[in-house]
């Protein structure tokens, strides 16, 4: 009997699910896709913070898991919020692909005037490094964003480089190095979630990549300690224990940045507490400006 693997219906989500299924089948484990619609896919005209943040891409799949309708769900790890329902476990973390953002543009960079993104982090970082360029809201799946770029609504758009690679897309533009434009926590990583027990161990044994799990685990410690979710411009990236983290103002005119090698969870927590204490005013300011409660 095949495992039922839940996924969102976007082209990128399907590509990620198909990668997981191929890896499972290579190890003799049969699997098939079950496509589930999420709030994040159906409501695309407003910023993420107005409809619930990260969790809008995950909740429907969590519910299907808890009801026993699927055996596992495939996610971009960066979409998984800190607070998780009881009874679910991230049973496998695949080896990380590129963590970087990629600025897609067909005109020369010096001619770029308006960049499209609805990520508060990407917007703040772009404004920090390129204060003379405008940043305008842009949501939707990869196809939608590329269509709006082609129509001339923007001069450039920001996408995750890993997503382009998984879709087999080679596009003109500029790679934004993750050490400078620090990405979202867990960006570039595919995670598989299942119910505790059951098939979790079988999936983990087949797919889990311990070095990546260790790095993204340290990133999540910092994310959870600093807070802010997807509402605060927050970048966290760990490469073999070397943590890079920054919190920015929404306007990108102020930031707190720290870099440190952390050997374990305790050193990552100490690092996170230092960052959180210094960046607390920026986090509070972001919540206030967005009309949210901490």
Q: Is-contact 258 264, C-beta < 8 A?
A: no
Nearest to 57 by CA among 153, 184, 243: 184
Long-range contacts of 127-136 (CB under 8 A, 24+ apart): 127/251, 127/252, 127/253, 128/248, 128/252, 128/253, 128/255, 129/180, 129/181, 131/252
Distance (Å, whole) CA 1 – CA 198? 14
The single-letter DSSP state of residue 115 is E
Residue 79 annotated to the active site: yes
- The C-alpha atoms of residue 134 and residue 130 are separated, in whole angstroms, by 9
Please state, as a whole number, how many other Cβ atoms lie within 10 Å of the Cβ of residue 50.
12
- Residue keyed to tokens 């107005």: 50
Cα–Cα distance between 138 and 45 in angstroms, integer?
9
Residue corresponding to tokens 């605060």: 232
Identify the active-site residue in 62, 71, 79, 101: 79
Provide the sign of the torsion angle of the four alpha carbons 83, 15, 66, 196, taken in this order.
negative
In a 13 Å sphere around the CA of 182, the CA atoms on its Cβ side amount to: 23
Residues taking part in catalysis: 79
């Amino acid at each position: 009997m095949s495992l039922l693997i839940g996924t969102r219906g976007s082209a990128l989500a399907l590509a990620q699910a198909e990668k997981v299924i191929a890896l499972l089948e290579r190890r003799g484990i049969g699997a098939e896709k079950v496509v589930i619609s999420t709030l994040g896919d159906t409501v695309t005209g407003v910023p993420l913070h107005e409809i619930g943040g990260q969790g809008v891409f995950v909740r429907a799949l969590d519910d299907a898991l808890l009801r026993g309708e699927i055996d596992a769900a495939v996610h971009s790890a960066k979409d998984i919020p800190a607070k998780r329902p009881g009874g679910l476990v991230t049973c496998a973390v695949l080896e990380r692909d590129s963590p970087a953002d990629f600025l897609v543009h067909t005109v020369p960079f010096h001619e770029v005037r308006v960049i499209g993104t609805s990520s508060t982090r990407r917007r703040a970082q772009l404004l920090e490094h390129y204060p003379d360029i405008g940043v305008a809201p842009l949501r939707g799946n990869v196809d939608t964003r590329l269509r709006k770029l082609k129509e001339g609504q923007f001069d450039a758009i920001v996408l995750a480089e890993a997503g382009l690679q998984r879709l087999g897309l080679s596009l003109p533009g500029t790679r934004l190095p993750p050490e400078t434009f620090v990405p979202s926590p867990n960006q570039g990583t595919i995670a598989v979630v299942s119910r505790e027990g059951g098939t979790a161990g079988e999936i983990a044994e087949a797919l889990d990549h311990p070095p990546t799990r260790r790095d993204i685990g340290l990133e999540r410690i910092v994310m959870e300690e600093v807070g802010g979710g997807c509402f605060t411009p927050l970048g966290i990236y760990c490469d073999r224990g070397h943590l890079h983290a920054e919190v920015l103002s929404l306007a990108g005119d102020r930031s707190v940045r720290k870099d440190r090698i952390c050997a374990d969870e305790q050193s990552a927590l100490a690092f996170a507490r230092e960052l959180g204490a210094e960046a607390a005013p920026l986090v509070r300011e972001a919540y206030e400006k967005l009309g949210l409660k901490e």
